[in-house]
């Protein structure tokens, strides 16, 4: 059985205007989880709970075998954390920050840090207040990666990056993934980034986990079936149909359990299938959120 | 308690704020120099004001930059990603701010006392100076505590303003205490019961403020 890097069981947190409800999350060692949700869905709160920065009101959190928040210090030695709203000290240089990290982490890898400096085209002598958003994100990533963490937690790291900086960051993360023992939790509302590097996807909305599966399973199960229906066609009561859109005789149904049987059932209901399309992760994500909101508030 | 990490966080703050701390120490020394070299009532007032201003600004800079500023400028997520608990972080902040303040404060107060006791200025003035300098320390403890517990720049600025106004009221109040006011022209200094009581109350205030700060920090469940 593969060890778990992160395990959240029935975790809840109550605020006046927001509730995190029954969060169950498991990330195996060496895996990359994309944690996707709209703004305000609860991604950052969940991440801060698993780092011990916010204490859960209910449930159990275990990170790298340590119970959180009680054993957060022991866990944090092996966690690299980067978030979009994280800032380095503006009056200090990157070199100063690197020395600080080196003085704290015995596993700090000078050679790797030098490699990353070169790869990210960062200048160690530059004061952090003078760097761009992209350079700041790369600097944060460098500081997190060169400490050689077993778990990398990234909270919206690519938000606001220009396409070139985003490519650099994602490329480095792809390299990191090659280390099979390192786990990554990557939160974002940008499904394109998540799709590139994740092998497991979890959707969260309004403080609830709405779906958590392997990326390939998601992409294999979801399909859009375009059809033409001259007579009466209704998808009501058809199992496995998540969404139906019609415009005159043309229409499309979305299924989350794609198989030949589903296609047959749609045909039998009076539709002529004209195309079967794979869906992007973004489309799957939006369909999941819409369905979840309907279920919560019918 | 992770002592080495607390020390590292304190060294980090020293690295970041040492220029401001040393500059304000120098400003205080300049104020004392004016008192010593001027030898007139005017230069005594100017130098004294400069000295007190340096001590007050030092407290404000330490609290505003290293505590409230760290949260406002979003450095906290970076610091808290290090292997440290919120409680240890609070300890590091309290120890750093109060130690940095104490060192500068003690140097300037010792030098000021030496100047007063070794010059024609009546030694009885020390009956005013000692509670006043300790009141500045009370303000520092209060500002540190409020800034850490409130996690708010607004609250920090409000308490700083209140302390700076309050210190003037405090001075006006204590000169009316007969045991203090009557000594201004006295060539000898006498610590009487009311002065000891005042100093005791100030020390108690400092201890309670720091204790309460740590107690409230330990009870927090959401730190960032």
A224-261: pLDDT as tens digits: 999 888 777 777 778 888 888 888 888 899 998 999 88
Over residues A3-17, the pLDDT tens digits come to 899 999 999 999 988
Sequence ranges of the domains in chain A: 4-218, 223-278
pLDDT at res. B41: 78
Indicate the helix (H) or strand (E) that contains B6.
helix B3-38
Full strand arrangement of the beta sheet holding A250-255: A241-247, A250-255, A223-228, A272-278
**What is the distance between the alpha carbons of residues B169 and A110, in angstroms, rounded to a whole number?**
56
What is the pLDDT confidence band of residue A92, given thresholds at 50, 70 and 90? very high
Q: Report residue B53 CA to chain centroid gap.
A: 11
User: Considering only CB atoms, which chain A residues are within 8 Å of B78?
Assistant: 86-88, 140
Q: Which of B78, B86, B92 to mutate to test the interface with A (most CBs of A within 10 A)?
A: B78
Does A69 sit behind a cis peptide bond, omega within 30 degrees of 0 on the bond before it? yes
The Cα A70–Cα B33 span in angstroms is: 53
Between residues A265 and A298, the one the model is more confident about: A265
Q: Please name the CATH architecture into which domain A4-218 falls.
A: 3-Layer(aba) Sandwich (3.40)
Distance from CA of B83 to the nearest CA of A (A): 5
For residue range B47-87, what is the model confidence (pLDDT) as tens digits?
888 988 898 899 999 999 899 888 888 888 899 999 998 88
CA-nearest of A198, A215, A103, A90 to A154 is A198
In CATH, the number for domain A223-278 is 3.30.70
What was the pLDDT predicted at B201? 95
What is the per-residue DSSP string for A56-124?
-SEEEEEETTEEETTTHHHHHTTEEEEETT----TTSBHHHHHHHHHHH-TT--HHHHHHHHHHTT--T
Residue A180: predicted pLDDT: 65
Which of A40, A26, A11, A63 has its CA nearest to residue A202?
Answer: A26
Interface predicted TM-score (ipTM) of this complex, two decimals: 0.85
- pLDDT, tens digit, for every residue of A138-184? 999 999 999 999 999 999 888 878 888 888 888 888 877 776 678 99
CA atoms lying within 13 Å on the CB side of residue B27? 17
* Pairing relationship of beta strands A79-83 and A151-155 according to DSSP bridges: parallel
CA distances A281 to A34, A196, A203, A259, Å, are 11, 10, 11, 19
pLDDT at A64: 94
The whole-number pLDDT of residue B117 equals: 82
pLDDT for residue B181:
79
Reading the block at residue B185, the tokens are: 């022209």
Q: Chain B, 65-124: which have a CB under 8 Å from a chain A CB? A: 73-75, 77-78, 80-86, 88
Given this model, what pLDDT does residue A298 score? 52
- How would you class A86 by CB atoms within 10 Å of its CB: exposed for 0-12, middle for 13-18, buried for 19 or more? buried
Write the pLDDT tens digit of every residue in A266-297: 888 888 889 999 998 888 888 888 888 877 66
Please report how many Cα atoms fall inside a 13 Å half-sphere around the Cα of residue A169, on the Cβ side: 27
* Regions in chain B scoring below 70 on pLDDT: none
Per-residue b/e over B62-85, b at no fewer than 16 CB within 10 Å? bbbbbbbbbbbeebbbbbbbbbbb
What average pLDDT score do residues A208-225 get? Answer: 90
Residues with Cβ within 8 Å of residue B220, at least 6 apart in sequence: B86
In the predicted structure, residue A31 carries a pLDDT above the cut 80: yes
Of A48, A55, A88, the CB nearest to B78: A88
């Amino acid at each position: 059985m593969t060890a778990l890097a992160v395990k959240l069981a029935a975790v809840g947190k109550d605020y006046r205007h927001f509730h995190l409800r029954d969060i169950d999350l498991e990330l195996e060692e060496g895996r990359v989880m994309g944690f996707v949700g709209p703004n305000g869905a609860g991604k950052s709160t969940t991440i801060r709970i698993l780092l011990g920065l916010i204490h859960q009101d209910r449930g159990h959190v275990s990170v790298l075998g340590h119970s959180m928040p009680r054993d957060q210090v022991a866990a944090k030695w092996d966690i690299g954390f980067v978030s979009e709203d994280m800032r380095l000290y503006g009056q200090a240089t990157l070199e100063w920050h690197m020395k600080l990290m080196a003085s704290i982490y015995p596993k700090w890898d000078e050679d790797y840090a030098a490699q990353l400096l070169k790869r990210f085209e960062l200048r160690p002598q530059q004061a952090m207040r003078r760097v761009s958003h992209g350079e700041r994100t790369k600097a944060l990533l460098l500081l997190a990666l060169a400490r050689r963490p077993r778990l990398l937690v990234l909270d919206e790291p690519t938000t606001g990056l220009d396409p070139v900086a985003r490519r650099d960051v994602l490329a480095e993360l792809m390299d990191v993934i090659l280390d099979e023992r390192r786990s990554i939790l990557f939160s974002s509302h940008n499904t394109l980034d998540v799709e590139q590097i994740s092998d497991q996807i979890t959707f969260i909305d309004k403080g609830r986990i709405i779906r958590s599966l392997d990326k390939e399973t998601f992409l294999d199960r979801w399909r859009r079936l375009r059809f033409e229906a001259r007579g009466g066609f209704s998808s009501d009561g058809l199992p496995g149909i998540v969404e139906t859109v019609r415009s005159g005789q043309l229409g499309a149904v979305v299924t989350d359990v794609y198989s030949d049987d589903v296609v047959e059932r749609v045909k039998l209901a009076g539709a002529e299938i004209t195309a079967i399309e794979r869906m992007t992760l973004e489309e799957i994500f939006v369909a999941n959120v819409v369905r979840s909101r309907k279920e919560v508030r019918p | 308690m992770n002592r080495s990490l607390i020390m590292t966080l304190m060294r980090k703050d020293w690295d970041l704020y040492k220029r401001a701390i040393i500059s304000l120490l120098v400003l205080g020394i300049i104020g004392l120099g004016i008192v010593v070299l001027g030898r007139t009532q005017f230069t005594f007032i100017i130098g004294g004001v400069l000295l007190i201003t340096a001590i007050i600004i030092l407290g404000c800079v330490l609290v505003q930059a290293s505590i409230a500023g760290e949260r406002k400028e979003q450095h906290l997520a970076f610091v808290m990603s290090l292997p440290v608990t919120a409680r240890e972080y609070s300890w590091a902040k309290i120890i750093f701010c109060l130690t940095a303040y104490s060192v500068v404060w003690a140097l300037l107060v010792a030098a000021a006392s030496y100047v007063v006791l070794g010059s024609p200025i009546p030694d009885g003035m020390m009956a005013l100076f000692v509670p006043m300098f300790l009141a500045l320390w009370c303000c520092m403890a209060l500002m540190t505590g409020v800034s850490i517990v409130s996690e708010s720049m607004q609250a920090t600025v409000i308490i700083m303003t209140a302390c700076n106004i309050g210190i003037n009221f405090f001075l006006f109040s204590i000169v009316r205490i007969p045991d203090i006011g009557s000594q201004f022209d006295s060539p000898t200094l006498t610590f009487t019961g009311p002065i000891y009581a005042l100093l005791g109350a100030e020390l108690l205030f400092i201890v309670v403020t720091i204790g309460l700060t740590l107690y409230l920090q330990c009870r927090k469940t959401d730190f960032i």
